Structure 1
Amino acid sequence: MRSLIIAVAALAATGGPAMSEIKPHAPRQEGGWLTLQTPTTQDHTVFDGAVWRCKADICRSPQVKAMPPMRSCRRLVRELGPISSFGFRGVTFSEADLAACNGVLVAGR
């Protein structure tokens, strides 16, 4: 019995065999941010259930729904105007992505 207790204590102290296989998860990025080409007078907007708080040309939302970033970008452009940078749930848009997103205003889609 004594050896069983010592074995259990040793196993618990080392984390056990399963503990060595657990890897830390990357932090979940659930928010979004954007920079407008022209400052807005709106202090916030509600988009797909998420509140986007704006100050001058920067808007942020701490938590947004999981949806395609381009779709969200285009809908936000229609709501707030052209943007110069955009990040959504850990995805940051390139210049080509931004041009495609802002193109929704020109194409009238």
Structure 2
Amino acid sequence: MRSFIIAVAALAATGGPAMAETKPQNGWLTLSAPTTQDHIVFDGAVWRCKADVCRSTKVKSLPPLRSCKRLAHELGTITGFGYRGVSLSDAELAQCNPARIAKTPASEMAAAR
């Protein structure tokens, strides 16, 4: 009986982590226009870009929307975003992209004062 308990404990100790579901650690994004950068380093991860698509094989565990906002600031308008198995919705993508404020003569004059 004692050897049976030891065997079950050993199996549980070795089989637990191996059976745990692993979450993807990669990221991808699509841009509204092709980028001229072939890669960008963001939070320690290298994102490789080709035309309007960038991918990273391993990204840190950060909130996807936060990461999207920071990458949009660097690369431009993002039209699709996946991060560690989570894809952003259209509403989240609207929050991700920086607001573009068009300058008018009145706003330029106010800024000059």
TM-score bin (small chain): 0.7 to 0.9
Distance across 2 between alignment mates of 1:95 and 1:78: 18
Mapping of residues 1-109 of structure 1, within 5 Å: 17=8, 19=11, 22=16, 24-102=19-97, 104-106=98-100
CA–CA separation in structure 1 for the residues paired with 2:55 and 2:92: 19
Instruction: Give unpaired runs (5+ residues) of structure 2.
Output: 102-113
- State the alpha-carbon separation in 2 of the partners of residues 41 and 106 from structure 1: 20
How much has 1:105 moved relative to structure 2? 3.4
Contact kept? 1:77, 1:105, Cα under 8 Å: no
The one-letter code sitting in structure 2 at the alignment partner of 1:35 is: T
SS in 2 for 1:105: coil
TM-score (norm 2): 0.72
- Report the AA paired with residue 44 of structure 1: H
In angstroms, what is the RMSD of aligned CA positions?
Answer: 2.6
3-state SS of 2:73 partner: helix
Percent pairwise identity: 54
Secondary structure at the aligned position of 1:34 is classed as strand
Q: Provide, for residues 15-64 of structure 1, a one-character-per-residue CA deviation record: whole Å limited to 9, x for no partner.
A: x5455884822222111100011011110011111110000011000111
Q: TM-score, normalised by structure 1?
A: 0.75
Instruction: Report the number of matched residues.
Output: 97
Q: 2:20 and 2:99 mapped to 1: Cα distance?
A: 39
